[in-house]
Amino acid sequence: MPALTLTGVRIIDGSGRAPIADGVLVVDKAGIIVFAGPAAEAPAVNPAEAVDLAGRTLLPGFIDSHVHFGMASANGPFHAVKSDPALIAFEAAERMRITLDAGVTTARDLGGISAGYRAAIDRGLITGPRLKVAVKVISHTGGHADYHLDGGELHTHLEGWGELADSVDEIRRAARRIIRSGADVIKICTTGGMGSPHDSPDDEGLRIDEVRAIVDELERHGGKPLAAHAQGTAGIHAAVLGGVTSIEHGYGIDDEAIDMMGERGTFLVPTLSTVYSGINRATMEPYHYEKKMRWSGITKTNIAHAIERGARFAMGTDSGVGAHGQNLRELGYMVDLGMSPGEAIVAGTATAAQLLGVSDTVGTLTAGKLADFIVSAVDPLTNITGLGDPDNVLVVATGGKIVKDTAGLFSPSRPSTPTRTLTRTGEATR
């Protein structure tokens, strides 16, 4: 007997295929999908044991390929310095919980938390998406991961954020240290950035020979993926030619880079949330605000062109720079720049799963995969922005286990606790 059977659902399975109007999902006791398809082809169902979702839309759990659970820019740069470490840890855990509530069942943290958070989620000690972690970020001294003030003191708590390395040998050692720390992915900086005090997006970071050295190290350790913070054009080229798996941000992407990425199968994670909703003069350092304002229009123009050219997109929000728990707004931003809603959904499910190396277990509603799914109150093919409102994500399940049910669809007499959001101080409010 199946552990869970859903009937009367409209299935968008994440593959890009047309929706199934009258669908059925059957999940076994191990949380594995047994069947996902048309009711006419479904195994025999006992109506008394099924949950009829009355035409609501069922989608795979989404995958955010670029988050930072260890930070919340709305808190300001000195929050972690002024706060007890235990509070900081619990705030990170709460960010993970509201991200799951928003419909993200898998996430890749690209710097700022340890592998211990991944283990805590796997062991059920805290609630959140399945995690892939980079732990730290590698850059040159004075680069994007260097947050020292001019006088030599650290600008924030980010001493645990970066690995500074200035030669091929140092870069190899930095990569080895991060691998030793339990990282699933290595993140490097081939350009400067918006939030770093000493450089700009057009400044070049790690060189091609340094990127290739890390690729070599990763091949020697089982072939872990390599993500490049790359915003300016020259640094994007260096990252692609060096052999990275993904370009993060890609704001200065040009036709040459798009062509090279297409030849190599390189992913683009555009983090549009940072330019659509991640700009707040009241909470940003002046240099950060000025760079963001200068680059926001450039970003939209170039990413729109990359969409038109058919680049390989995976969804990522850079939440932490922007708000946590609003991840699916990114889908609407991609559609605003030229994607169809169906293409944006694929970027946040199947393609993101390919990037993270988990497409054999999640990313589509397919028999044999884990039953990670959400139930939406809106039709995302006609109202993709509505899916970005966590209140419209009625149900979230991971591995067949219901972890959010605000509409009481699975326990009509006892709806689950409404989603909470974080205040500027990191406290959760209803």
Give the chain's end-to-end CA distance (angstroms, integer).
38
Is 295 inside any structural domain?
yes
Q: Are residues 336 and 281 in the same domain?
A: yes
Q: 184-215: per-residue pLDDT in tens?
A: 999 999 999 988 777 889 999 999 999 999 99
The count of domains in the chain is: 2
Based on the domain organization, do 379 and 332 belong to the same domain?
no
pLDDT 10s digits, 81-123: 778 889 989 999 999 999 999 999 999 999 999 999 999 999 9
Which of residues 60 and 79 earns the better pLDDT score?
60
Would you say residue 29 lies in a domain? yes
φ/ψ of 253, rounded to 5, equals -60, 140
**Are residues 156 and 20 part of one domain?**
no
Position 217 in a domain = yes
Mode of pairing for the β-strands spanning 20-27 and 4-11:
antiparallel
> Is 142 in the same domain as 210?
yes
Is residue 141 pLDDT above 70, yes or no?
yes
Whether 52 and 143 share a structural domain: no
- The tokens 């199946």 sit on which residue? 2
Q: How high does pLDDT run on average in the chain?
A: 91
Top pLDDT among 182 and 149 is at 182
Domain CATH code at residue 111 = 3.20.20.140
Using the predicted structure, report yes or no on whether residue 272 has a pLDDT greater than 50: yes
What is the tens place of the pLDDT at every residue in 379-430?
999 999 999 999 999 999 999 999 999 999 997 544 444 444 444 334 333 3
Q: Do residue 225 and residue 340 come from a single domain? A: yes
Our measurement of the distance from residue 206's CA atom to the centroid of its chain's CA atoms, rounded to an integer in Å, reads 23
With cut-offs at 50, 70 and 90, classify the pLDDT of residue 78.
Answer: low
Q: What domain range includes position 400?
A: 4-61+363-422
Residue pair 303/337 in contact (Cβ under 8 Å)? The answer is: yes
Q: Which residue type is seen at 243?
A: G
Q: Which of 300, 334, 356 is the last residue of a domain?
A: 356
User: Tokens standing for 328?
Assistant: 């699916």
Residues 103 and 162 in one domain: yes
Res 146: pLDDT? 81
Q: Return the structure tokens found at 302.
A: 């170039």
Please give the structure tokens belonging to residue 206: 């790690």
HEC string of the chain equals CCCEEEEEEEECCCCCCCCEEEEEEEECCCCEEEEEEEHHHCCCCCHHHCEECCCCEEEECEEEEEECCCCCHHHCCCHHHHCCHHHHHHHHHHHHHHHHHCCEEEEEECCCCCHHHHHHHHCCCCCCCEEEECCCEEECCCCCCCCECCCCCECCCHHHCEEECCCHHHHHHHHHHHHHCCCCCEEEECECCCCCCCCCCCCECCCHHHHHHHHHHHHHCCCCCEEEEECCHHHHHHHHHHCCCEEEECCCCCHHHHHHHHHHCCEEECCCHHHHCCCCCCCCCHHHHHHHHHHHHHHHHHHHHHHHHCCCECCCCCECCECCCCCCHHHHHHHHCCCCHHHHHHHCCHHHHHHHCCCCCCCCCCCCCECCEEEECCCCCCCHHHHCCHHHEEEEEECCEEEEECCCCCCCCCCCCCCCEECCCCCEEC
Mean pLDDT of the 134-153 span: 81
Q: Domain check: are 349 and 371 in the same one?
A: no
pLDDT value at residue 160: 62
- Indicate if 230 and 351 belong to the same structural domain: yes
Q: Report yes or no: 229 and 188 within 8 Å, Cβ to Cβ.
A: yes
Give, in degrees to the nearest 5, the angle at Cα 205 between 203 and 211: 145
Among 290, 263, 265, which residue's Cα sits nearest to residue 279? 290
**Does 220 map to a domain?**
yes
Assign residue 56 the CATH number of its domain: 2.30.40.10
- Find where tokens 């048309």 sit: 38
130 and 258, same domain (yes or no): yes
When comparing pLDDT for 146 and 6, which is higher?
6
Q: Residue 1 pLDDT > 70, yes or no?
A: no
Half-sphere exposure in the Cβ direction for 77 (13 Å, CA): 16
Report if residue 134 sits inside a domain: yes
Structure tokens at 89: 């840890």
User: Where among 339, 356, 373 does a domain terminate?
Assistant: 356
224 and 280 co-located in one domain: yes
Q: For the beta carbon of residue 2, count every other beta carbon within 10 angstroms.
A: 17
Stretch 240-247: mean pLDDT: 98
Domain assignment present for 272: yes
Answer yes or no: is pLDDT of 44 > 60: yes
* Percentage, residues of the chain above pLDDT 70: 91
Same domain (yes/no): 150, 208? yes
Residue of higher predicted confidence among 146 and 16: 16
Give domain status of residue 69, yes or no: no
Query: Is residue 373 a part of any domain in this protein?
Result: yes
pLDDT at 104 (0 to 100): 98
pLDDT digits (tens, 9 = 90+) for 212-234: 999 999 999 889 999 999 999 99
Q: Which of 356, 385, 410 is the last residue of a domain?
A: 356
What is the reported pLDDT for 413? 44
pTM, 2 dp: 0.93
More confident residue, 11 or 200: 11
**Using only C-alpha atoms, what is the Rg of the chain?**
21
